[in-house]
């Protein structure tokens, strides 16, 4: 059955891999994006599957914009079956005592508030239909925080709690919510930010995307409220 999948941040390294996984499964995919060239690249890589791909420019930290976004997807496709919350950001390298209000607020907004706003927008429709799958992207750093990344770790830990609350509220109506917790992912941005790092234990975005796709699949219908580590074999 073709599902309607909404992916926030669907054109980045991980978001693009997640979009590809759902397109390969035969789903209709809507991605949010901020950079037109990234969306164009995603469409090109989707090749013949691009007919099932659409994109919307959106700031997913803006409640009014998210309400409009979800209403547009429902108007065009009738529903949202799967919500993959990939959009987020990272800031680190500064201890708590030196962390600015701006950095703290930005991490909470990008990684936690955006997920709350999007989940709040899709939950009523999912509950009414008696079906929905929500998958969030937390982080290994949420359970084992690194020095200098308190704001990021706190935002991702809050995301796990939000995911589990959604699971508790939706489970009885066949609306599940689960989180994946990647370690460092092997992306161009991370390689640029950490040029001297040992990348042998980093996780490829495609591996994380596969877990996200699984958690939204019929094979995972009995999984709800999980926080799934995706650390790689050497993680």
Active site residues: 152, 156
Rounded CA-CA distance 36/57 in Å is 8
| Residue 90 near residue 18 (C-beta atoms within 8 A) | no
DSSP 8-class letter at 112: I
Tokens describing residue 160: 């796990």
Contacts of 66 (CB under 8 A, 6+ apart): 58, 60, 117, 118, 121
- Bridge partners (DSSP) of residue 5 are 29, 82
Q: Please state the length of the chain.
A: 235
For the beta sheet containing 28-33, the strands, ordered from the edge strand earlier in sequence to the opposite edge, are 53-57, 28-33, 4-8, 82-85, 132-137, 175-182, 227-230
């Amino acid at each position: 059955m073709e599902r309607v999948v909404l992916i926030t941040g669907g054109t980045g390294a991980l978001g693009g891999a997640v979009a590809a996984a759902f397109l390969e499964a035969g789903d209709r995919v809507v991605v949010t994006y901020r950079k037109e060239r990234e969306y164009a690249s995603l469409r090109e890589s989707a090749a013949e599957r691009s007919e099932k791909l659409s994109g919307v420019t959106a700031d997913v930290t803006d409640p009014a914009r998210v309400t409009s976004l979800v209403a547009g997807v429902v108007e065009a496709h009738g529903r949202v079956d799967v919500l993959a919350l990939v959009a987020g950001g990272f800031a680190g390298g500064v201890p708590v005592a030196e962390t600015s209000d701006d950095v703290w607020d930005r991490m909470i907004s990008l990684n936690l508030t955006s997920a709350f706003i999007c989940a709040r927008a899709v939950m009523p429709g999912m509950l009414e239909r008696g079906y929905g799958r929500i998958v969030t992207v937390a982080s290994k750093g949420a359970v084992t925080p690194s020095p200098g990344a308190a704001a990021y770790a706190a935002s991702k830990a809050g995301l796990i709690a939000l995911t589990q609350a959604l699971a508790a509220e939706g489970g009885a109506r066949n609306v599940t919510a689960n989180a994946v917790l990647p370690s460092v992912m092997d992306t161009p941005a991370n390689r640029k930010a950490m040029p001297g790092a040992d990348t042998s234990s980093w996780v490829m975005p495609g591996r994380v995307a596969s877990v996200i796709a699984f958690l939204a699949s019929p094979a995972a219908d009995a999984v709800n409220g999980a926080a799934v580590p995706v650390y790689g074999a050497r993680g």
